[in-house]
Structures are given as structure tokens and as C-alpha cells.
Amino acid sequence: MSEMKPEGTLLLTEKPFVCVLHSNQKVKRCDHCFESGNLSNCSLCDKVAYCSSKCEAEAWSIHKFECPNMKRISPKIVPDAVRMIARIIYKLKYCKGWETKGFYGSGRNEFRKFGDLESHYEDLQHDRKRLQDFLTLSRVLEDFMGENESLPPPSELLTIYGRLLINSFNIMDISMNTIGSGLYLGTSRFDHSCVPNAVAVFSGTIISIRLTKPIAQFDWSKVFVSYIDVLQPTSKRISELNKGYYFECRCEVCLDVKQLEHMLSMSCPNPKCSEPIYIPEDVQDKVPECPKCTNCGEQVTQSRLDSYLNALDFIEAQLDRMKQTSYLDVCQTSLRKTEGLFHPYNVYQLQILDSAFSAAIDLNHWTEAKEYGKKLIVGQKKYYGDIHPLLGQTLLKIVKILLLEEFEEEDEREIVRSYIDLAEKIVKICYGEDHSLYKEHVMSLLDNLLSL
């Protein structure tokens, strides 16, 4: 029986089949529930820590297999991906892993088992880079699991590896930073779209899938989440999905030419015109003449086009450099180059703004952070839509910054009010009113605002 499900509907909550806390979080978070707090180490291996004896006891059902190995290979640290595969092997072999069911619906047959997960075995066999990674990983795995434990035969191991690559999720903390990875059986049934209607959020290691858009005549096959960050040009998204998940995305934005043109656009040289002017990625081979604005007819000069292309080259190189850490000075230089040249919808400029925003916050440069954040919101709304956790995060951060200041003008108070209203709506829909992001963070901002 199909029914209408509104936005904000909680579709499922699920514990991970297996999960691993990333090793860079080891001293900060409990290895079992991923919460931070007062931790004490496992007395046997000293390599993982727990927030309580309850977590330690619950974790033991799987940690007991890896604990002696962690101790044996010390001071070497087991890489996260290796630990994850080892955990899957233990789970399958000793904890009835093959029979474990992950339900996505309440129907008797609405579940998935580990064996149901897509492995893309054939594709993997033709993927030289991943096969190479797999061989390296297998060697480390063998060393880690020790000689008393026989590894599954290579073809089975490759299937496990494939299922992990295709189906695992990054587990994120309350500020959307990745802190671990998890494999969820029921959740694995959702396909990808670059304009998803559902979102995965976490509370510790527990995943929830919630609708961000209503679905008339609900059916599980109508639910889509996004596997990648969609704030990148169509060609890059398609290639990331192709290389990572072995499919050709045919979602509505991947087929939408206008969207692509906006993502790669220059601002019109005519200051009175706000129309984006599309500059194709291979403009040099493609357009013999400089493009013209389709709205006001203004011609882009060769020197303007050259400056744009130079700035684009520069930015792409900087973004590549800043994959791990954002540097404020690099972002500032980049943004000076794009100013007046790149349209506010240009995704490369938006990526730099995103880095600049976090770097400025890290350094307590509030005025700059505020300025970057406001521009970022424009782009996030365009490409993520009004209801998206990352837009919610940006809004919450800006509100926090604005609340640090005294409002001089009444309209600043209005702006804060409109930001917090949208943030509240987003968090309610994407996380729900029971989530700590709502109960603690959003509520305390609302209280602060009322007390001003």
C-alpha cells in the first residue's frame, strides 16, 4: 500500500554491521560508541579506549579477535581499512555474520544480508589501481591477522573488499567531520542521486536515514541518498561515481545542461547584469571566439577570459593541496583572483569559500569568516537545496559568530533570525528533534537570541 511520506520522515535507524573509529580519533573518542569523554584503555592491548565498562563489554564480542593482534604488531598501527576488513572476516566467521539481517522496512522480506551487498567483482577485476591497493592491503591483513588465522581465499577476499568499497559510509560527528567508517546492511539498499531526497545522519555509530523531500506514493525504490559531495562540476561527479562505484549517473542534475553551465561560470563583464556566462572546461579547443553574455549581449574580452582561465588553474592546484588542511592565506590569494571574475554560482569559487570559511573560524578571524559564510550560503542553497545538513552547519556557524557581536543595526538581528529559523528547520528535518544537535546546539542558540 503506497502512502505519502512527508519530509522529515525517519525511514530507518540501524546499528553498523561493523565499524571502525579512525585511528586519528583514538585518543579522543570511545572505540565502541564514538562519543568523546573520559576514556580508559583496553588493559590488554592498550590500543583502543572506551568511555565506560558497558561499552568495553559490548565491544569485546568483536575486539577479542583483534586485541591480541593489535598488541603483537605494536608499535605498528593497523591501518583503518585493514582493521575494517579483519572485523568483517571475524564477524562472518565467528559471529554468524552471514545470517545477520539488516532491516530497512518493517515487512518480513525488507532486509539485506552481507551476501546481498553489491561487490562489483567483475569491475574490480579490471580496475588496475584498486587491484594494486587490494594486493597491498592483503599483505598487511595477513600480517595483522597472524599465522593462526587463515584468510578467506583470494576471490572471496576480493568480494569482501568490493562490498566494503561500494557500501561503506563515512561516520560523521555532530559538525559533519568524518570520524570513522561503517558498513550498514539495510541502508545499503539506497541508490545514489546528485539531487537526493534523503540524507544519512549519525548519532554516535548509529545511522539514520531521513527524507529531506516528501515522496508521494512511497516506495523504497524512490529513495535516494548522495554518495559524494555534489558541490563539484558534473564531469567530476560523474567521474568520481564511475571510478568509485562503477556506474554512470543519469540523475536529473547530471542531465541538466543549465546546472552544468552555472557551475562553470564567469560573471558578466557588464556590472548591471547578473547573468552567469558559461566557460566550458575545454574552452580553448571548443570556442574559437570569446563567449558573449546570453542576457545582455556583452562580449567577454580575450584578456578577461585569460585571467579567468589562469585563476581557475591556480585554484584547482590549491584545492588539490588543501585536501587535508585549509590555509587561510592560500584561500585569500585564491579569492582575490576570482573577485569580479567568477560568478557566485561557480563551484570552484564555492569550494575555496568553504575552505576559507573553516580556516577563518579555526583562526578566530570572525569578520572574514562571516563574509565567506554569507557567500557560501548562496551557493549551498543553489546546489544542495534549502534542506541539507551542510547548509544547516554553515548557518549554525554564522549564527554563532554573529551572536558574539553586539547588534548595531536592527536589520542584523533580522538576518540572524532568518538564519536560525532556516537552520532550525533543516536540523529538525535532517536530524529530528531528538538528536543532540537539535536539543543542545540549536536550542541554546535560540535561547541566546531571545536573551539579547
Chain contacts with Zn ion (rule: CB under 5 A): 30, 32-33, 42, 44-45, 51, 55, 67, 194, 249, 251, 254, 268, 270, 273, 275, 293, 295-296, 298
Nearer to Zn ion among residue 30 and residue 85 (C-beta)? 30
Residues contacting residue 155 through CB under 8 Å, at least 6 positions apart: 121
Task: Classify residue 408 by burial, with Cβ atoms within 10 Å: 0-12, 13-18, 19+.
Answer: exposed
Distance from C-alpha of 243 to C-alpha of 218, rounded to nearest angstrom: 31
- Between 373 and 379, CB nearer to Zn ion: 379
Q: Shortest approach of Zn ion to residue 268 CB, angstroms?
A: 3
What type of residue is 156? Answer: E
3-state secondary structure (DSSP) of residue 262: helix
**Min CB(39)–Zn ion separation in Å:** 8
CB of 245 to Zn ion, least distance (A): 11
Give the nearer residue to Zn ion in terms of CB position, either 118 or 275. Answer: 275
Nearer to Zn ion, 268 or 311 (CB): 268
Of the pair 239, 302, the CB lying nearest Zn ion is at 239
CA gap 136, 154 in Å, rounded: 13
Determine contact, residues 50/31, Cβ cutoff 8 Å.
yes
CB nearer Zn ion, residue 300 or residue 402:
300
State how far the Cα of 300 lies from the Cα of 266, in Å rounded to an integer: 9
Q: Name the residue nearer to Zn ion (CB basis): 175 or 274.
A: 274
In the complex, minimum distance from the CB of residue 44 to Zn ion, in angstroms, rounded to a whole number: 4
Query: 214: cis peptide before it, omega within 30°?
Result: no
Quote the CA–CA distance of 251 and 235 in Å, as a whole number: 13
Q: Residue 245: which of 327, 389, 127 has the closest Cα? A: 127
Does an H or E element contain 245, and which?
helix 234-245
Is residue 227 within 8 Å of 188, Cβ to Cβ?
A: no
Strand partners, 29: 36
Output the smallest distance, CB 358 to Zn ion, in A: 26
Residue 273: CB minimum distance to Zn ion, A: 3
Longest dimension (CA), the chain: 74
Kindly tell me which of 18 and 359 has the beta carbon lying closer to Zn ion: 18
Nearer to Zn ion, 182 or 373 (CB): 182
Count the neighbouring beta carbons within 10 Å of the beta carbon of residue 444.
11
Q: How far is the CB of 35 from Zn ion (least distance, A)?
A: 5
Three-class SS of residue 90?
A: helix
Please name which of 409, 408, 276 lies closest in space to residue 350, comparing C-alpha atoms.
276
Helices (H) and strands (E) in the chain, counts: 16, 14
Rounded to the nearest whole angstrom, what is the least distance from the CB of residue 423 to Zn ion in the complex? 27
At closest approach, how far in Å is the CB of 66 from Zn ion?
A: 7
